[in-house]
Amino acid sequence: MIQNDTWIKKMASQGMIVPFESNLIRRVEELPVISFGLSSFGYDIRLSPKEFRVFRHIPGTVVDPKNFNPDNLEPVQLHTDENGSFFILPAHSYGLGVALEKLKVPDDITILCIGKSSYARVGLIANLTPAEAGWRGYLTLEFSNSSSADCRIYANEGVVQLLFLKGEPCEVSYSSRQGKYQDQGEEVTLARV
């Protein structure tokens, strides 16, 4: 069953989401922002301004998730103007960012991350990824720019929505099996095997 705002707020008070915003924020200091915070049946997390990386082609190489070459990712500069701080994801490219909020997932919950409509409508696709029961850390977020134009991704603003799916407690949680992405810091985490 999907969890509602009352449940999310209660669990956030126990450290599930830090920092936590108990309302859906659409303006910060009179500046319109892509919404973040608590919604009816989810929580919109923000993109951290600390790091964003874009895949680049290196002739003669193939990206291999079993033997990932960090040279295939290049850092992207954070820009700021009157609309806020943002990274630019070039047309038809793929990038990795990191969430501003730290998560601590209960053992009877799995979280799905889905894209926000404001970005979907400009061709930016957020990969649907899970945060499994017992997982802790800052999510690495994956984005594809499917449009033929460069796209801004705003830091400190909403970037994906989390949906909290409750089930019976699992026998083996991500924490108890010592998952390879446990306790990620607020930085892009590369593919691991």
Positions marked catalytic: 142
- CA dihedral of residues 98, 145, 73, 175 (deg, nearest 10): 40
Query: Which amino acid appears at position 104 of this protein?
Result: K
Q: Give DSSP secondary structure letters for 118-177.
A: HHHTTTEEE--EEE-TT-EEPPEEEEEE-SSS-EEEETTSEEEEEEEEE-SPPSS-TTTT
* Distant-in-sequence contacts of 18-21, Cβ < 8 A, 24+ apart: 18/101, 18/102, 18/104, 19/100, 19/101, 20/101
